[in-house]
Every structure is written in structure tokens, then in C-alpha cells.
Amino acid sequence: MARHKVEICGVDTSKLPVLTNEEMKKLFIRLQEKNDLSAREELVNGNLRLVLSVIQRFNNRGEYVDDLFQVGCIGLMKSIDNFDLGHNVRFSTYAVPMIIGEIRRYLRDNNPIRVSRSLRDIAYKSLQARELLMSKTSREPTHKEIAEETGIPEEDIVFALDAIQEPVSLFEPIYNDGGDPIYVVDQISDEKDKATNWDDKISLKEGIVQLNEREKMIVNKRFFQGKTQMEVADEIGISQAQVSRLEKAAIKQMNKRMFE
């Protein structure tokens, strides 16, 4: 049976290679220890599917897929050049944020909404510092760390980055490990006055009785304390994906009890 052929920038996506973790490690060793540029080329070609998966998030922006693919490849190459095997982090975990960042910078540069030059300068310096810190620590730096790196006041950095940020749908998926996806809305705290939704609280408390201790803790932190899934994950020592799955299972169980 013939495979469906789709070409982007002259690349037949049906024939893109897929590298195993062990193959990736060997290629990075060749690149970093021997400066083997052929290994770099193999790493690029072996991770083009990663770029394809990222640009699907931007399909509704009205941009040419070829353009987004080329920009995403720039982010991929930056990821390869800055990746550190010593941090024991999967390459895809490190590369995806950098590819997304490269595409978003491209979209900002082509955004018809005008932002002052001074704000853009601060934002770009902050983004450069962010990438540098990520390459050193393999994690997302805080605004305070970026401020220390650039010498720019933290409040100026926050304001500048907000000014160039594009609106994002609350239901845009930001993570999917093959199970239930995690959406932007799952990352948002509820800062509303708790007195305004007391009836919802009563219903939740009635449904929470049958949950186990960890499920109770997650529901309490998420719906009564208004914490994000990431904050809950950090506090109880599990992954955000696990928090998401436990939260959904608890809600399903509570609904069954409350409405049976």
C-alpha cells in the first residue's frame, strides 16, 4: 500500500527518518566531542518530524506551512547546537520549547499590531537571556533569573514580554503524552472571590468524600486553593501529566456520586 506523500519545502515527509534514543546519544557524542558535522546533519534530519508536530499548533494563523517549517528548523538547529547530554533530559523535551519560541518570534515580527521599539528591545534581550539560561539549566528560567542575567528590572521584563505575547486559546493543547492532553486552561489559577461560588464548593465537598487521600489533596489544591496543575505537581512530587489524569478521574468519580 503506497504511503501518502506530503512535501514541505521539497521534503517528502513520508520518508523522514526516526532516531532511537540510543542513536541520538551516539550522534550527540560525535557532534560534541569530535565536532562531526555529518552527525549534526543526521540529528537535524532525524528530528524533522518534531518540527512538523510543532507547526501543527500554528495551523490557524494563516501562515504558509513552508515558512513555519523553515523557521521551526532554525529552532531545531539551535536546540541541537545547545543541547547538553549531561543534564539527562530527553532532547524533545528541550527542543520543543525552543522551536515554539523561534516560530513565535517569527510571528511577532510579522504581527500587524505595533509594539514600541524600546519594549521590543527589552523583550528580545530577555528572550536571548532565557535561551541562554535554558541551555545551562535545561529548565524554564524565572523572570527574576532573566532580570539578573540582563541587568533589566524584573517588572520591565514582565511588561515587555506581555506586550509582544500573542493571544492564545484557553483550549490550546500544550502537552500530550498519549493520554489526555493538558490545555492552557489547566494552567490557570482561580483568583476569584471564593464567596461568590459557595454553592459550587458545597457540591464539591459533598462529592469529595469518597476520594482517596491523594485525590482529595489534588481537588482541594486545584479547586479550593486555586493552584495550577504545575504548582500541585511540584508540591506533591509527581508529574503534571499525573496530576491531570488524577484530577480528571476524581472529577468523573465525583460527578457519578453527585448526580446518580
Distance CA 123, CA 42 (A): 33
Residue 169 burial by Cβ neighbours in a 10 Å radius (0-12, 13-18, 19+): exposed
Identify the three-state secondary structure at position 175.
strand
What's residue 223's pLDDT? Answer: 75
Angstrom distance (rounded) from CA 202 to CA 199:
5
pLDDT score, position 190 = 52
Amino acid at 33: E
Q: What is the pLDDT, as a whole number, of residue 196?
A: 44
CATH 3.20.20.100 holds for 1-110: no
pLDDT value at residue 179 = 58
Cell of 175: 502537552
Task: Find out whether 96 and 175 touch, Cβ atoms under 8 Å.
Answer: no
Gap between the Cα atoms of 78 and 72, Å rounded? 10
Query: What's the grid cell of residue 72?
Result: 521551526
What are the extents of the domains in the chain? 1-110, 114-167, 173-259
Quote the pTM value. 0.45
Give the number of other CB atoms < 10 A from CB of residue 100: 17
Q: Answer yes or no: same fold for 1-110 and 173-259.
A: no
Q: In the CATH hierarchy, which fold is given to the domain comprising 114-167?
A: Arc Repressor Mutant, subunit A (1.10.10)
Q: Which pLDDT score, from 0 to 100, does residue 151 have?
A: 93
pLDDT at 195: 43
Q: Which residue has the cell 489526555?
A: 180
Per-residue model confidence (pLDDT) at position 116: 67
Residue 33 C-alpha from the chain's centroid: 30
Which pLDDT score, from 0 to 100, does residue 74 have? 92
Architecture in CATH for domain 173-259: Orthogonal Bundle (1.10)
pLDDT at res. 43: 92
Alpha-carbon 118 to chain mean position:
27
Q: Mean pLDDT in each 10-residue stretch from start to end of the chain (260 residues)?
A: 49 75 90 90 91 83 80 92 84 88 81 66 87 85 91 87 65 58 58 47 61 83 80 85 85 68
**According to the model, what pLDDT value does residue 42 have?**
92
